[in-house]
Structure 1
Amino acid sequence: GLPELVLYEILLMKDPDHAQNEEEKISSSSLRQRLLGTLLRPPRQDPALPSHPYVIGLTGGTGSGKTSIAKLLGQLGAFLIDADKLGHAVYVPGGPAHEQVVAAFGAEILNEDGTINRKVLGAKVFGNPERLKSLTDIVWPEIAQMVKEQIREADAQG
């Protein structure tokens, strides 16, 4: 006994200022995304704060805004350390973990030029918790050491 629903079509309004990664329609989600990383007030110098560098770690999934926030912090004068890049650096020939990784996982992980084929290595370790732990036990301490060195460098630069 319910009456038939009447449908009304409401056309969406296009947002003339939408960015490539945003929806074309006017959207509160797009407006919130634009505010992320917006400087709400300028930073102020405080002589009571310690002079050594603050260490801020940015974590999050793909597309969560880590790169955008890092760029903003860099524009504000922050010394940026990219742990992903350091992670790649430990694998290069002559890098601090190269020989250990090859010794642990075999020469079959090497490309012809001596670089580690990350796809082949990944196939060996992902899905095998013991091998993954072996890899992280080799690589993570080296990455941590490189991060500490870069923090000391940032401190020396002021």
Structure 2
Amino acid sequence: MSTSEFPSSKSPSNHLATNKLLVGLTGGIGSGKTSVANGFAQLGASVIDADAIAHSLTTPGGAAIPAIEAAFGSDLINAEGAMDRAKMRALIFSDATQKQRLEAIIHPLIRAEVAAQTKAATGPYIIYVVPLLVETGHWTLSRILVVDCDESLQLQRVIERDGLPESLVAAIMKQQATRAQRLAVATDVIQNDGSFEALIPEIERLHKLYSELSLSKPTEYL
């Protein structure tokens, strides 16, 4: 379940400016976005993961928990005080209005945290991991990096990783952008049909490119 979204405003009134290269990293569920992002982080890039932020907001004590409980009831909060992700997933998959209610709570908090992490970033460039980058259409980015893989492999990976039934994984994939839609907006593509080790040369090549491009990047307001 992904409720993450990238901040959409380009107005200088936000008072957040950066001269770093801004790279949006996206891909379908199970494509390997996290592994690729970790590879860039190991090379020194600043990585800001919108999904990880969304998850932290809904853990015990998370900033979104009070509003979620007020909007959806205590039944959507588990015994540990976190959002019950399985129940919420079932709810928003069957009711688009409920999905919008959740996003209205989560998205402003994500935007605020993304802005804070952007301001604090020290790497030569910034990688934003945004699963729904293509679907939302809201971003201010220098480049878009798509992690691509065969859809049957996506399905297999998610079933093995999350233990979800095939029908649910297929439904999640159906709600996401297609491979063709993601590839149509890509500046760069990493093909992830094998092991992580096979990706390292391409991650290193792109790290060098992004670092060089960032040196001549003009200041941009987010």
TM-score range for the pair, normalised by the shorter chain length? 0.5 to 0.7
Contact 2:59/2:82 (8 A) holds in 1: yes
Aligned partner of 1:61: which letter? Answer: G
Structure 2, gaps ≥5 residues long: 1-17, 125-222
Shift of 1:131: 0.7
Percent sequence identity over matched residues? 38
Residues 148 and 105 of structure 1: CA distance in aligned 2, closer, same or farther (over 3 Å): same
Paired residues for 1:65-104 under 5 Å: 65-104=32-71
Q: Distance in 1 between matches of 2:90 and 2:30?
A: 25
Q: Distance in 2 between matches of 1:64 and 1:122?
A: 20
1:132 aligns to what? 99
Query: What is the distance in 2 between the residues matched to 1:112 and 1:72?
Result: 35
Displacement after TM superposition at 1:85 (Å): 1.1
What SS does the aligned partner of 1:96 have? coil
1:148 aligns with 2:115: yes
State the 4+ residue runs in structure 1 displaced beyond 6 angstroms.
Answer: none
Of Structure 1 and Structure 2, the greater strand share is in: 2
Q: 1:105 matched to which residue of 2?
A: 72
Against the structure 1 CA distance between its residues 71 and 116, is the aligned structure 2 distance closer, same or farther, given a 3 Å change threshold?
closer
Once the two structures are superposed, what CA deviation does each residue of 1:3-52 show, in whole Å capped at 9, x if it has no partner? xxxxxxxxxxxxxxxxxxxxxxxxxxxxxxxxxxxxxxxxxxxxxxxx73
User: 1:77, CA displacement in angstroms?
Assistant: 1.6
Evaluate the alpha carbon distance shift between residue 73 and residue 112 of structure 1 in structure 2; reply closer, same or farther with a 3 A threshold. Answer: closer
Distance 1:66 1:147 in 2: 18
Q: 1:111, 1:117 within 8 Å by CA — same for their partners in 2?
A: yes
- 1:86 is matched by which residue type in structure 2? I
| Distance in 2 separating the partners of 1:65 and 1:107 | 34
Equivalent residues of 1:125, 1:132 under 8 A apart: yes
Higher fraction of helix: 2
One-letter identity of the residue aligned with 2:85? R
1:9 corresponding residue in structure 2? none
- State the Cα deviation string for residues 59-117 of structure 1 (Å, max 9, x = none): 11134342343233223320111211111111123322111111110011121222221
Note if contact 2:61-2:81 (Cα within 8 Å) is conserved in structure 1. Answer: no
Higher relative contact order (CA 8 A, sep 6+): 2
Q: TM-score, normalised by structure 1?
A: 0.60
Q: Could you say if the C-alpha distance between residues 75 and 99 of structure 1 is closer, same or farther in structure 2, counting changes exceeding 3 Å?
A: same
